[in-house]
Amino acid sequence: MDKEILNMEEAAELFNVSIKTFIKLLKEEKVPARKIGREWRFSRQALIQWLSAGDSQQYSSSESDPKEFFDRVAAEWSKLRSGYYDEDVINILQSSGLLEKDMVLVDLGAGDGYLARAVAPSVDTVIAVDISGAMISELRKKAAAEGIRNIQTIVSDGCDVPLEDGSVDLVCANMFLHHIEEPISAVREMGRILKPGGKVFLADLVEHGNKELMEAMHDVWPGFSRKDISDWFVRCGFSIRQFDTLGQKTSGRKAGKKKGGSVFVMTAVKQ
């Protein structure tokens, strides 16, 4: 018979989440629990009741919807972005040796094409995917003004992209993953569309505690730990080639002026 009184580990297991995620939940929500002595105890029944009384609408208000947010800020995105992160990631990608003249590159969460437009001259085709139609319109406008003709665009959820299995050489995603509710679903999709031996170039925020930043940018995740990222990629059939946290000399160069946190850059290969 199932135990009625659970400790923290058992309660996290009941919800099928890590202890870290469960602790975050305890801090952010009114989870039924009591601290007895130094340890938390939970009633299985009360936890299940609490879970069933939840309401998904509460978490999908228009304000927290990335599509609504990015549709709204699309026209001023380049200005907004420059306050948060700079061109370091683009420079690293361009000097990484990952770009080849005959390749098909997908940019997930492409926004106004900050990365897509920069790498387009170095590859055969760029396919820019974004959930926000307004961001994609900005990208098309800017690419046309810059005379770039090899970017195709798709308005789509990056976790369900209308591209064939094994059709892509390189997937790039700059500051996209922390907007995804279940990042592993995006990683799985990267694996699906890549050819065997295809690569991912991922840049995102290192885990941070800056709630203001999260609210201002409508982020779902407060960045990521190296362990979480590595686990998700390995579980989806990748091997990690490189993982660097940009140091003082790169992202920190303008750290005094930038509001964004530290950035990591990772390269993974589909097995």
Ligand X SMILES: C[S@@+](CC[C@H](N)C(=O)[O-])C[C@H]1O[C@@H](n2cnc3c(N)ncnc32)[C@H](O)[C@@H]1O
- By CB under 6 A, name the binding residues for ligand X: 66, 70, 81, 109-111, 114-115, 129-132, 135, 157-159, 174-176, 179-180
Nearest of 35, 38, 40, 49 to residue 11 by alpha carbon: 40
Between CA 266 and CA 190 the distance in angstroms is 14
Nearest of 134, 136, 89, 141 to residue 115 by alpha carbon: 89
For ligand X, the closer of residues 12 and 267 by Cβ is 267
**In the complex, residue closest to ligand X by CB:** 111
Between CA 219 and CA 177 the distance in angstroms is 9
CA geometry: angle at 269 spanning 267 and 270, to 5°?
145
Tokens of 240: 């990690």
- Minimum CB–partner distance for residue 12 and ligand X (Å): 26
For ligand X, the closer of residues 239 and 245 by Cβ is 245
- Minimum CB–partner distance for residue 144 and ligand X (Å): 18
Tokens of 84: 């948060």
- Minimum CB–partner distance for residue 176 and ligand X (Å): 5
In one-letter notation, the amino acid at residue 58 is: Q
- Minimum CB–partner distance for residue 40 and ligand X (Å): 34
For ligand X, the closer of residues 41 and 142 by Cβ is 142
- Minimum CB–partner distance for residue 70 and ligand X (Å): 3
For ligand X, the closer of residues 66 and 261 by Cβ is 66
Between CA 202 and CA 93 the distance in angstroms is 10
- Minimum CB–partner distance for residue 105 and ligand X (Å): 13
The answer to whether 70 and 111 have CB atoms below 8 angstroms apart is yes
Between CA 220 and CA 215 the distance in angstroms is 9
For ligand X, the closer of residues 43 and 78 by Cβ is 78
Residue 105, Ramachandran bin (φ over 0: left; ψ between -120 and 50: alpha; else beta)? beta
For ligand X, the closer of residues 114 and 232 by Cβ is 114
For ligand X, the closer of residues 157 and 228 by Cβ is 157
